[in-house]
């Protein structure tokens, strides 16, 4: 269902897609993961040690009306260590942009800022890590 009155939250590096919600969503996720890897050293997670199988988790966060990240959590079936570390890294990445006066722009409905919750699935496969 497309709602022409809804605008997906805009990640700091995705403003060029402002008119297209599908591209905004894809850009948000791709650029967030890129930044997590490159700005925070996501490859340095501690839970690789003594683990032979992959870990799955879903992290959840809300972007409030001011573009702030609130209500950070994870699903009950998530790996808690992985989820907490991913959430810490998301906050660290968000702070990186805020320090540069670039922040996530909140979702909008009818031109008015609104809270929006994002759920991100995370899968780390240890066997494929180099």
Residue 123 has pLDDT above 50, yes or no: yes
d(CA 130, CA 122): 18
CATH topology of domain 6-124: 3.30.1150
At residue 125, the pLDDT reads: 60
For residue 57, name the pLDDT band (cuts at 50, 70, 90).
confident
Instruction: Give Cα separations from 88 to 7, 49, 92, 95, 112 (angstroms).
Output: 26, 19, 6, 11, 29
C-alpha to C-alpha distance for 28 and 34, rounded to whole angstroms: 10
pLDDT confidence of 42, banded at 50, 70, 90?
Answer: low
């Amino acid at each position: 269902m497309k709602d022409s009155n809804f605008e997906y939250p805009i990640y700091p590096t995705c403003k060029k897609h402002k008119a297209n919600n599908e591209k905004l969503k894809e850009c948000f996720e791709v650029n967030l993961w890129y930044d997590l890897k490159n700005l925070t050293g996501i490859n340095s997670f501690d839970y690789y040690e003594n683990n032979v199988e992959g870990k799955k988790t879903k992290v959840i966060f809300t972007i409030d009306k001011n573009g702030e990240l609130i209500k950070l959590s994870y699903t009950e079936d998530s790996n808690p260590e992985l989820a907490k570390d991913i959430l810490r890294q998301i906050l660290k990445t968000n702070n990186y942009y805020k320090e540069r006066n670039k922040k996530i722009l909140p979702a909008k409905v009818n031109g008015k800022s609104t809270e929006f919750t994002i759920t991100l699935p995370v899968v780390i496969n240890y066997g494929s890590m180099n």
